[in-house]
Structure 1
Amino acid sequence: MLNAERHKLIMDLLKRKSAVKLKDLIAISDSSESTIRRDLAELEDLGVLKRVHGGAILSQARTIEMSMIEKSVRNVHWKKDIAKLAASTVVDGDCIYLDAGSTTFEIIEFLVGRDITVVTNGLMHVEELVSLDLNAYILGGKMKAKTKAIIGGIALENIMNYRFDKAFIGANGVHLIDGYTTPDMEEALLKRKAMELSDETFIVADSSKLHHSHFAKVFDLEDAVLVTNAISKEDKYGIMKKTNIMEVPV
């Protein structure tokens, strides 16, 4: 296989999966380990991917963020499984914070019938909560059109009126060194404040977020329980050295 053909194969796989393993690339391309490692190094130099232990992930600009609509159609089956597992931690009488985001939105259907109070900064979230007859409050503040999230100084002041048993928060990146990150600093500040006001905090994020790091740090891995889908043994071992993890059963 020619150099250009291998590069196209690698990028096509990354665009479909967001992450690829070195051993899979070797098998699919019928190439040596040294050849694939060289290909990955060349593509990393071009800025289109990032090498990680055992493979590569798709490179992302730290400040670019997908819209709520774009997020809602990605990895839907993972998000629903993660949402169901996260919702299983909620008990009657809880006051919870539900962060704006596509995975946190999926939690709502699993809260139906619960005697709980929900505070959210998600415009789509509060509409769904009210339609399902759940007791809900929405933070005031500036609405971010792209993600349908309420953010800014007013939202930060508003959230101080509440205390939570549990907070469910989304993250764009889950990184062993950088922790949980997101492209928007204002969203990061609100997520951090929600964590500080909650007895327990859960990050709901599918495995495509692993090894990614974005512009604004939310908080460290040890500050929350990670709720995710099945991940590799290597990733699980690394994360569990820093925090607890709830993993969707295979």
Structure 2
Amino acid sequence: MTNDFIDKQTVNVPDLHRFYPLAQALAQYRGADILPFTDNNELLTGLVREQAIKRYDKLINESPLPQACVLIVITDEPVPKLLLTRRSNHLSSHAGEVSLVGGKRDETDISSADVALREACEEVGLHRADVEILGYLPMQISKKGLLVRPVVASIPPDVVDRLTPSEDEIARLFWLPFEVLQTAPVDWVFERELPNKTAKLYTPAWVYDCDDDGTPEIVWGLTGRILSSLMEIGFGVGHEWYYRIT
């Protein structure tokens, strides 16, 4: 990969822009640029937890570049919506889960925004010309160990109906009312098969029935953690995030 890759670029958002306060909050963030993944995570215990903490400390000291980027797309309108997708079941990573558009960095990408915008175009047909970058969130660590940089952006509302999910990667595209993220996530339970038993995984999730058909989309995992970070840094709304297993 190119050594002159640019992670976070300077963003200039006009002070009359609807999301100017959000852009300012993102620009003024001075916390850790890689968020820890061991806090409130009961899935990591003993030696595994110790190794995870050591790896995190090593990452902080080395200040590495992101290995993947996602685009948080918010509509620029009085009642904003946020773009989410449900990934196809055949994918090797996060199959069947609700996700932000985005993916791994490749040789052609010159910046984090470049990664996120390229992937957004490939996955849902979102064109760069329709996107205004608002800023960046701290990186999160995926369950496969990738460093993921979230890029926050807005689009005009008339772009919504032009987007079409890629059949190869996306099972469906939907829009989450932004006000949903201002409410506390529920304590959601998943069943997980372990070698000797079926365990229950408890974690926060936003549950939204976008078609009102009784089959809701579950926003949790890496996507949930990223959106929780957006709400805390961008809007001062804090949500506890945890993983507990019984």
TM interval, short-chain normalised: under 0.3
Higher relative contact order (CA 8 A, sep 6+): 2
For the pair shown, the structure with the greater C-alpha radius of gyration is 1
| TM-score, structure 1 as length reference | 0.27
